[in-house]
Amino acid sequence: MLIILACFAVSSYAVQTDVDCLRSVKESFEDPEQLLSSWDFNNNAEGFICRFTGVECGNPDENNVINIHLSDMGLRGPFPIGIKNCTSLQELHLSGNRLTGQIPSNIADVIPYGVTIDLSKNNLSGSIPPSIANLSFIRVLRLNNNQFTGQIPPELSELYNLQEFSP
């Protein structure tokens, strides 16, 4: 019985962190076109966040976010640091918006299982953080058409799984 309760507590925690993740993402962006208006957090049914615009879950009946596709939605604001609460996130597509500020220096801690990260066509600035080289699962990294300064970190040459890179 104790094992069952412990498993439920862990499962419940994972579900809540993904809900918190998406709530944080929504709150971090200005959404002038109201494209995230379908993100209603008043529903507590299992899997409810999997029906949100641009959200994919590993299983549609569980609140376990694996992909977020919010490209070309006119979203404004900084990189949504609360995305770290989507602990199983593999793909993040935020291209073609109006994101500003810098990529977090601890990006590999924010999206540790990132396979595809597309931040292209925004207004991100500063330097590309060398810690991107710690994204050991990354295959696709699109950063083109931003306002980055400085050199491409040489550490990126250590990303052996990287198949596509657009600086």
Encode the chain in three state secondary structure: CHHHHHHHHHHHHHHHHHHHHHHHHHHHCECCCCCCCCCCCCCCCCCHHHHCCCEEECCCCCCCEEEEECCCCCCEEECCHHHHHCCCCCEEECCCCEEEECCCCCHHHHCCCCCEEECCCCEEEECCCHHHHHCCCCCEEECCCCEECCCCCHHHHHCCCCCEEEC
Domain that holds residue 40: 2-166
Which residue has tokens 């579900």?
15
Q: What was the pLDDT predicted at 155?
A: 94
**What tokens were used for 15?**
């579900």
**8 Å CB contact between 73 and 52:** no
pTM of the model: 0.89
Of all residues in the chain, the percent with pLDDT exceeding 70 is 91
Q: How far apart are CA 86 and CA 66, in angstroms?
A: 8
**Mean pLDDT of all residues in 103-109:** 97
Query: How large is the average pLDDT for residues 45-71?
Result: 92
Average pLDDT over residues 25-36: 96
What CATH number is given to the structural domain containing 32?
3.80.10.10
- Is residue 10's pLDDT more than 50? no
Count of domains for the chain: 1
